[in-house]
Structure 1
Amino acid sequence: MVDLHCHILPGLDDGPDRIEESLEMAETAIADGITHVVATPHSSDSYWFDFAAVRRLRDELQNRIGNRLKVATGCDFHLNPENLAALRREPRPYCLNQRDYLLVEFNEVSIPPAMDKTLHEMQLSGLRLIVTHPERNAILRSHPGRLREWVRRGCFVQVTGGALTGGFGMTAEQLALEWIGQGMVHFVASDAHNTRIRPLRLRPAYERVAHQFGEEKARALFRENPRAAFEGQDLPHVPELGDGAARRRRRFFFF
């Protein structure tokens, strides 16, 4: 499996404090069957993204873990004015494995209508945008039509492995599964932060998806699509969007 979103590097954000915990997270990933990870520290108002420091810590982790796990870098990109200005100057440091896919995280207090234009401009610049964990965002949970429209316009969606197994509550679990069924989800990632509450593990979520949607869908979301994004290639599996409104009406009628 390939994990495109995890906070494994130490001392950069709200992930691990020490390289020893980073190594423990890496060992957890290896034992879980993960072969590639992208270290994606926050780039936000709270955490400044220092690419040189990110690469130095990545190199240290890679050297200490050896070739048992491939570690690349990117970031968890928050859409604030300072970040956007820096992205326009030099986008590659922020992108997954320095290719052209970018994780974008949305504010939970406000997503102004002008954000649609911002996303479009980012796409026109050549970036392929991945909306991270919308099942955990209060605004997008309340207005899924907005997320659906972004997908229709070419954005991709990543849900959290822990959400699929109930780790973020029933609503997040139900929405993540519903959106997979509607063809709105392209990746599942761990968004791991530590070895305790949010470990670097995907196998339980893989098994949940395989059980509910089949092995082909699980391979697409955990292996094939993430590997393509890791390498900067077109996604091999982009499902057709289903009719979300009709599905919700049926669910309400029966349940």
Structure 2
Amino acid sequence: MIDLHNHLLPNLDDGSQSFEESLQLALKLVEEGVTQAVVTPHHMNGKYVNPAGKINQVTAQFQDYLDQAEVPLQVFPGQEVRIHAHLIESIREGEIQFLDREKHYLLLEFPTAHIPDYTEDVIYDLKHLGVTPIIAHPERNHAIQKDPRLLFDLINQGCLSQVTAASLAGVFGSDVKKQALEMLDHHLAHLVASDMHDLGFRQAYLEEAFTFLEKELGPDRVRQIQEYARQVINGVKIKAPSAQVLPQKKRRRWFGLF
């Protein structure tokens, strides 16, 4: 199994805070069946700045650490980059780390509460460069939660998306779990990753998530999701079925007595 989104690298963001902790997180991923992981520290999210050069350096150090500890996990440099208006300039300046060597896939994070007005322009420019944005955890974005048609529009513009295993495990509540499943079922989401930060609340949940998906969507769909991850890491173009729009959530109406 391949994990495309996690915060294993030490001392770079709100994930692991030491090589020793990173080792424990890696062991947990291996326990859940992961053999390859793209490590994706936050970048330009208003708190953390982790350009590609720094990520590559720490990834190499961490791989050496894993090899010395005889942990059977291969790690590759990646990045969870917060969308910003000057993202294309950042790519040209070499600050952005893609999920694959061919630079076809980019893990793109939105602010929690909304989708910026310039998003469509940035995605257009990314596609023009031959880059497919993979939207991280859309099921946890408040704007998309309220109106899933926003995600439908993004997928139709050429994006893919990735839900968090913890969402499918119910960690963020039943509503998020239901919406994450619906996104995968309607091909609004294509990938499942751990977004692992620690061994507590933000652990991997991959085994639990895929067991749930196999029950709900069947083993063939699970194999497809896992194959998509392999295609991403190898820079192969994913040919996903057409997305199906989810209905907008109905607003609750309150009736008073007069």
* TM-score of the pair, normalised by structure 1: 0.90
Relative to its length, the structure with more helix (as a share) is: 1
Give, in whole Å, the separation in 2 of the partners of 1:227 and 1:85: 28
The alignment partner of 1:71 has SS state of strand
**Partner residue of 2:98?**
95
Q: Cα RMSD between the aligned structures?
A: 1.9
Query: Which residue number in structure 1 is paired with residue 136 of structure 2?
Result: 132
The residue matched to 2:247 in structure 1 has which SS?
Answer: helix
1:65 CA displacement: 1.7
Look up the match of 1:49. Answer: 50
Alignment match, 1:231 = 234
Give the number of aligned pairs: 245
Unaligned runs of 5+ in 2: 251-258
Q: Percent identity?
A: 29
Q: Which runs of 5+ in 1 are unaligned?
A: 250-255
Letter in 1 for 2:35: T
Match of 1:7 in 2: 7
Distance 2:40 2:222 in 1: 23
Deviations 1:210-249 (A, max 9, x none): 110000111121x2000110010112x5123235339x89
Offset of residue 106 of structure 1: 0.7
Structure 1 pair 120–146 and aligned structure 2 pair: CA distance change class (3 A): same
Distance in 2 between residues matched to 1:17 and 1:216, nearest whole Å:
38
Q: Which runs of 4+ in 1 moved over 4 A?
A: none
What is the CA-CA distance between 1:107 and the residue it aligns to? 1.3
- How far the C-alpha of 1:159 sits from its partner, in A, is 0.3
1:21 is displaced (CA, Å) by 0.5
Shift of 1:97: 3.2
Specify the code of the residue in structure 2 equivalent to 1:95. Answer: F
Q: Please, which of 210, 217, 233 is the counterpart of residue 214 of structure 2?
A: 210
Q: Matched residues in 2 for 1:148 and 1:243: separation?
A: 6
Q: How does 1:22-101 map to 2 (within 5 A)?
A: 22-44=22-44, 45-66=46-67, 68-81=72-85, 83-90=87-94, 93-98=96-101, 99-101=103-105
Amino acid at match of 1:14: D
Distance in 1 between residues matched to 2:73 and 2:205, nearest whole Å: 13
CA distance in 2, matches of 1:243, 1:68: 40
Change (3 A) 1:182 1:54: same
The CA deviation string for residues 187-208 of structure 1, in whole angstroms up to 9 with x for no partner, is: 0000001122212341110111
TM-score (norm 2): 0.89
